[in-house]
């Protein structure tokens, strides 16, 4: 009886712990949301009032001092932060302001087009306001402040900014990961791989799967020597598997490298095999260190077929294949996929750290270092 009571108590404590942790997370989100909303409102007040014109360049310094004197317990009222509050508010209103300026310019210079411009501006303004009204309450206030600072200083427009806000919320990115994704041009590269998905996948799947692929992939987290081989690239990526998975995107789980597939009396080896948890499908990745060649698509098609027949079960969706090559001719890539019946994609990659071939040989060996140390000791 005592044992049963102990088990019930332990189970109850475990349940309490989970519920308290959930409450803490909710409270943290609410605190963050309230803080970001306060920053937004303060940025709006600074933008709309004329005090900055009245006090000149010393306005932000004076405002910072006054707010910190009045609210010493609240952090974030530095002079630079106050300027970011204003920039934060203005950034998400820039397109409306810019389009209003265009309309005003036409009023001054071209009366014949005035009605058309006003009509277009109203449509765009309503669309922007609708987007802001729907995106802000749910999402804008859900990410930390310094994520916002990164976004408004790195992104060119609202659409790009909202893309990174959504990705941050979806994937729980730290600020460092967010910065890495912006530096790697995820917004410009996601969904840009050349694929045959529109012909080989159902309509509701095609675009969804395409958005999980990028072109190019940025492998700036590995160091590799000139004239590297495919196996060296593969090993470098696996040695940095955590960074590689981040670069691939949310949902990828690593299954294995050089995965053996026995077909007939022969064995074939897949470079890298992943499973996409959200899409519920295997993803075959073949690495190519040179330019894409048409016959590579046929081989990938064969690998995808073998995974479908040997690994995929009734709960899995169709396997997808992806070639990641150093360079490619887009027209040749498109032609190569035209008559293949498995869902395939072709992307390129970029490296940032290339070491000279003689780099390894120029480094002292462990034995050399030990010998030198022994000499010094003697």
pLDDT tens digits, one per residue of 78-113:
889 989 988 998 888 765 555 445 445 444 444 444
146 shares a domain with 135: yes
Q: Look up tokens 């048409």; give the residue.
A: 294
Domain ranges, residue 181:
2-185
Among the candidates 125, 153, 185, a domain finishes at: 185
pLDDT tens digits, one per residue of 283-333:
999 999 889 999 999 999 999 999 999 999 999 999 999 999 999 998 999
Band (pLDDT 50/70/90 cuts) for residue 361 is: very low
The more confidently predicted of residues 283 and 5 is 283
Whether 251 is in a domain gets the answer: yes
Among the candidates 165, 185, 205, a domain finishes at: 185
Band (pLDDT 50/70/90 cuts) for residue 5 is: low
Q: How many domains does the chain have?
A: 2
206 shares a domain with 144: no
239 shares a domain with 121: no
Q: Kindly give, in sequence order, each residue whose CB lies less than 8 Å from that of residue 91, ignoring residues fewer than 6 positions away.
A: 152, 158, 161
> How far is Cα 345 from Cα 336, in angstroms, rounded to an integer?
10
The CATH number of whichever domain residue 229 belongs to comes to 3.40.1350.10
- Nearest by Cα to 260 from 203, 224, 307, 302: 307
43 shares a domain with 113: yes
Residue pair 300/271 in contact (Cβ under 8 Å)? The answer is no
211 shares a domain with 112: no
211 shares a domain with 144: no
As a whole number, mean pLDDT of residues 228-242 equals 84
195 shares a domain with 104: no
Structure tokens that stand for 343 in this block: 């869902």
């Amino acid at each position: 009886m005592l044992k049963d009571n102990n088990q019930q108590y332990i189970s109850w404590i475990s349940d309490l712990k989970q519920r308290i942790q959930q409450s803490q997370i909710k409270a943290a989100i609410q605190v963050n949301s309230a803080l970001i909303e306060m920053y937004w409102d303060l940025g709006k007040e600074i933008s709309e009032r004329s005090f900055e014109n009245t006090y000149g360049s010393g306005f932000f310094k004076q405002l910072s001092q006054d707010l910190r004197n009045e609210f010493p317990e609240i952090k974030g009222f530095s002079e630079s932060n106050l300027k970011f509050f204003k920039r934060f508010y203005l950034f998400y209103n820039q397109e409306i302001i810019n389009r209003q300026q265009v309309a005003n310019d036409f009023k001054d210079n071209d009366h014949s087009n005035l009605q058309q411009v006003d009509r277009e501006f109203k449509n765009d303004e309503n669309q922007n306001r609708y987007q802001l009204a729907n995106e802000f309450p749910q999402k804008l206030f859900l990410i930390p402040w310094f994520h916002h600072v990164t976004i408004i200083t790195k992104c060119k427009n609202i659409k790009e900014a909202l893309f990174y806000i959504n990705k941050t919320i979806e994937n729980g990115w730290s600020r460092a990961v967010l910065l890495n994704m912006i530096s790697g041009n995820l917004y410009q590269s996601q969904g840009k791989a050349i694929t045959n998905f529109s012909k080989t996948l159902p309509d509701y799947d095609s675009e969804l799967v395409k958005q999980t692929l990028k072109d190019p992939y940025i492998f700036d987290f590995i160091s590799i020597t000139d004239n590297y081989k495919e196996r060296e690239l593969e090993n470098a990526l696996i040695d940095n598997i955590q960074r590689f998975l981040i670069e691939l995107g949310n949902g990828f789980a690593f299954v294995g490298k050089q995965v053996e597939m026995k077909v007939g009396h022969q064995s074939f080896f897949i470079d890298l095999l992943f499973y996409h948890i959200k899409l519920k499908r295997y993803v075959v990745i073949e690495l190519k260190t040179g330019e894409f060649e048409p016959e590579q698509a046929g081989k990938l098609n064969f690998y995808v077929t073998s995974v479908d027949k040997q690994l995929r079960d009734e709960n899995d969706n169709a396997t997808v294949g992806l070639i990641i090559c150093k360079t490619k001719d887009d027209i040749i890539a498109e032609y190569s996929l035209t008559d293949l019946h498995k869902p395939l994609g072709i992307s390129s990659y970029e490296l940032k750290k290339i070491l000279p071939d003689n780099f390894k040989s120029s480094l002292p060996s462990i034995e050399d270092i030990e010998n030198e140390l022994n000499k010094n000791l003697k």
